[in-house]
């Protein structure tokens, strides 16, 4: 049987703060395939994430198919808006949620992972747009640049800082959304621009990291899913309903489907795939016209 096998690999999934999103599903799929899994979490969410883990609130979600339980090798802090500690404002470094974490930047994370034995797979499950609810024409320059910095440039920085400490032939993966290619009213604040940049950068990074380190770089464009972060935007249910009715496959997308694709793309089975945007959206991206005008059939 041809199986996804990540035995002996160490996977780092950056952007896991609960058990309800794609990042957690990817981490779980990596573990199911045999990888050792670590995660990196935004400092303001780190304390509650660790507390919920310790209190067993995620136990049901951590259950693996063989009856064992997913256990993270390490939980690191990371604030992907900063490449080095010098980039972070002093008031932030000295704040209650940051001051005892050491180097919480991308370069600090790479150094910590290297000190702990290195890594083979790095997953970028990070996005933030402070003005995501604002139409693009009402988005400030600061909000726009912040969205691109946190959601797209952070991937560039991660590939730069992790490539030298990753074992040769490693795999990078990030997560995008169809707003990179099409107008999605309500998904504002520069986030659509950030996703477009992320996909474009994937192609360039694949060339550069491939030639320099033999690493692969891919991105998954996932369909709408009601994670906690997506639900905060405010119209995710309508998007799920619309795409479900107008996709070739009409069942709802699951986080597990994205996780399985991620595990495949980071495995030796996908050794010939790099620089690609892989759609996991029930085929919605293939549609050019809404079915029944986008309305439910009667």
Catalytic residue numbers, as ranges: 177, 187
- Please give the Cα distance from 71 to 63 (Å, whole number): 10
For residue 29, the surrounding DSSP H or E stretch is helix 22-32
* Longest alpha-carbon distance in the chain: 60
- Does residue 296 contact residue 245 with C-beta atoms inside 8 Å? yes
Tokens for 5, please give them: 């096998």
Residue labelled with tokens 């900063």:
82
Between CA 121 and CA 128, with CA 127 as vertex, the angle to 5 degrees is 155
DSSP string of 134-199?
Answer: S-GGG--HHHHHHHHIIIIIHHHHHHHHHTTTEEEEEEEEEEE-GGGTS--TT--TTHHHHHHHHH
């Amino acid at each position: 049987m041809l199986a996804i096998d990540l035995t002996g690999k160490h996977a780092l999934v950056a952007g896991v703060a609960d058990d309800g999103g794609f990042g957690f599903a990817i981490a779980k799929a990596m573990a199911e395939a045999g990888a050792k899994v670590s995660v990196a979490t935004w400092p303001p969410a780190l304390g509650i994430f660790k507390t919920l883990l310790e209190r067993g609130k995620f136990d049901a979600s951590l259950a693996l198919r063989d009856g064992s339980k997913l256990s993270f090798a390490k939980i690191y802090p990371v604030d992907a808006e900063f490449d080095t500690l010098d980039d972070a404002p002093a008031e932030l470094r000295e704040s209650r949620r940051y001051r005892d974490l050491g180097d919480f930047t991308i370069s600090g994370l790479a150094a910590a992972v290297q000190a702990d034995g290195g890594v083979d797979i790095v997953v970028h499950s990070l996005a933030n747009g402070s003005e995501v609810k604002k139409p693009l024409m009402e988005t400030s320059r600061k909000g726009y640049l912040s969205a691109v910095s946190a959601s797209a440039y952070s991937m560039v920085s991660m590939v730069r800082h992790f490539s030298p400490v990753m074992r040769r032939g490693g795999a990078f993966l990030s997560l995008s959304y169809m707003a990179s290619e099409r107008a999605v009213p309500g998904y504002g604040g520069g986030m659509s621009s950030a996703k477009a940049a992320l996909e474009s950068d994937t192609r360039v990074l694949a060339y550069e990291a491939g030639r320099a380190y033999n690493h692969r770089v891919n991105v998954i464009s996932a369909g709408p899913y009601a994670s906690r972060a997506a639900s905060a935007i405010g119209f995710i249910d309508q998007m799920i309903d619309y795409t479900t009715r107008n996709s070739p496959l009409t069942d709802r997308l699951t986080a597990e489907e994205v996780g399985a694709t991620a595990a495949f793309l980071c495995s030796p089975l996908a050794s010939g795939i790099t620089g690609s945007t892989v759609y996991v959206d029930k085929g919605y991206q293939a549609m050019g016209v809404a079915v029944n005008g986008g309305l439910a059939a009667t």
